[in-house]
Structure 1
């Protein structure tokens, strides 16, 4: 732990400037405030958070932990990568082909229009689907022209202002409504609540899952095979989402570093994990619901084969194959995240 003491001290001294209790100062907590009304509100449960915490693993072993590494906290868009893992499980079971059009297996859930019929699973995973419609009460337009911190493209219009849609697969946009549509599609594919599938196929085999929760919006219920199920979002943009510990996040990062294998069992196909970290043609800074560092623009001091799960509020899971590293840091001020990465990289040297 001493090796990384400077990085840990730096993280702990630069906590994200959000209140720890979302009910205390709601105007300073979350990202939904940036949305046009009436969509600038929470639609699902949230809860108080802990302080800055994290875990570092080297060559498969935990070498450092700080804060409350076993506390299950909301993790925002890190949950997107968990959807990609579930899609990988479905692929391993022969339930989806990434290049297959979603409508071919799932008619009647929002992929039937002439525009949406062309959308493949790969388009959804790389955020180039340009899906058009309303998912669980949220129109895709809410996220038009959205720009997030690691997106190198300049904004082209005001957030929520309608823009002309492109052919699926030709335009990248970070769009949480479309991610929620992917989650809804996976729910219909598995025909079981996704939190149950994720615990059963990923977290519990890794030895984790304590206090894990993946909640949906209050009104996000559907009926499948006569059973009422809640569709869960790929983040906490409008509340709900994944609550998970830093140690469990590190376990998931280790699984990806190890090519989807844990204790000799292939939990996610190796080729799927490899594809998750390959740059897309339209957005070479992005893989399958992961962020890439191929040109060093994301983090200059991280190795170029590093890849990341990222969530609002200062959540990062860093996977560095070159150094056998998995580093998780939570609730750090995002503006200070490069400083944390630099200090970890220096310690590795």
Structure 2
């Protein structure tokens, strides 16, 4: 598809044109290092040198922060893979908010098992007391970040923001209880507000369902871990995943899972294939469709999954709708963690590292350059 901006591809096209008229391509572009070329397979499904150059830019551009790992998969095979010094394909890296999408898949499996219902009141006992307006919060509202609960994800004073208080301060020992005690600030379902605390509530719901409302931390921890391992991680071969739990045994499903770049790519491939892996339907196809369908209150958010749709003028796009197909979707984590999935291109791309807000603005066009090398099918 024609794209409005290209940070690498347009210069490459110009360089190719100049090379055909005036001499070899090496006259106009600096030679690639052996490391850059070695990171790309012999037949990557795209121009090999251009792909190597686009991946190299993610590691060498001065304004994008620190890239630690990149994996590109095309139709199920790794076609590019590169790591910064000190990191390897066996290094576990933190998910940050990419964990939210894994939590959504866990909830989807419990819905498919008949143990949860999307449009019934969320099974939080304190919300079910007579007269509590939070009883109107459904599982769907939680998944779409429109619970209506009072929340500040990232305020001007970090230690006063809701997710910092939950993760590291007064809520850290029982994160779900802290999140569930918050009052409403808007009518449930009426407004999108991104909230890490909301995903911890989803994790608590999973633990309640899997343990028949046990409050024993080890029972909760073991039940959720065993379910994820048996139903998701083991079938996909995601052997590196280490999820974190708080002291009460609640999965910190909004921000803290650790895995290798390859295992994050395996999860992205599961979503690209609509929940199927090697002929087995691990997650219902209809759930992945729901995950990637825009919420009524946010065109760029589904069920704990970011979508490549534009938002209102002046607002920040989580992905890059001007630079890649709108069918692309992804997992996005704090400080520049990405799993990007483009079904129409047969593509899954992982980028893990450390980039602040300004650096992420420069990083996204470079990731789009990699994706743009692959045609839509």
Task: Judge conservation of contact 1:254–1:326 (CA < 8 Å) in 2.
Answer: yes
Aligned-pair distance for 1:188? Answer: 0.8
Is 2:74 the counterpart of 1:58?
yes
Is 2:91 the counterpart of 1:75?
no
Is 2:275 the counterpart of 1:260?
yes
Is 2:343 the counterpart of 1:321?
yes
Counterparts of residues 1-349 of structure 1 (less than 5 Å): 1=40, 2=48, 4-14=51-61, 17=65, 52-67=68-83, 68-103=88-123, 106-108=124-126, 110=127, 112=129, 114-131=132-149, 142=162, 165-191=185-211, 192-193=220-221, 194-210=224-240, 212-217=241-246, 220-221=247-248, 230-236=249-255, 241-295=256-310, 297=317, 298-299=319-320, 300-331=322-353, 333=355, 334-349=360-375
Assess, with a 3 A threshold, how the Cα gap between structure 1 residues 215 and 85 changes in structure 2: closer, same or farther.
same
Give the distance between the partners of 1:313 and 1:199, measured in 2 at CA.
Answer: 27
* Structure 2 residue ranges without an equivalent (≥5): 1-39, 41-47, 152-158, 165-181, 212-219, 312-316
Total equivalences in the alignment:
277
Aligned-pair distance for 1:268? Answer: 0.7
CA deviations 1:289-332 (Å, max 9, x no partner) are: 01111338531211110001000021000010110100001015
* Structure 1 residue ranges without an equivalent (≥5): 19-50, 134-138, 145-161, 222-229
3-state SS, counterpart of residue 125 of structure 2: coil
Assess, with a 3 A threshold, how the Cα gap between structure 1 residues 235 and 179 changes in structure 2: closer, same or farther.
closer
Task: Judge conservation of contact 1:57–1:63 (CA < 8 Å) in 2.
Answer: yes
Aligned-pair distance for 1:259? Answer: 0.8
Give the distance between the partners of 1:271 and 1:167, measured in 2 at CA.
Answer: 28
Which is greater in Rg? 2
3-state SS, counterpart of residue 190 of structure 1: helix
CA deviations 1:70-115 (Å, max 9, x no partner) are: 3111110000001100001101211111111113xx534x554612
Task: Judge conservation of contact 2:148–2:184 (CA < 8 Å) in 1.
Answer: no
Root-mean-square deviation (Å): 2.6
Give the distance between the partners of 1:117 and 1:14, measured in 2 at CA.
Answer: 50
3-state SS, counterpart of residue 300 of structure 2: coil
Give the distance between the partners of 1:258 and 1:310, measured in 2 at CA.
Answer: 19
Assess, with a 3 A threshold, how the Cα gap between structure 1 residues 163 and 196 changes in structure 2: closer, same or farther.
closer
Aligned-pair distance for 1:54? Answer: 1.7
Taking structure 2 as the reference length, the TM-score comes to 0.68
Aligned-pair distance for 1:141? Answer: 7.1
Give the distance between the partners of 2:52 and 2:291, measured in 1 at CA.
Answer: 31
Aligned-pair distance for 1:143? Answer: 5.3
3-state SS, counterpart of residue 235 of structure 2: coil
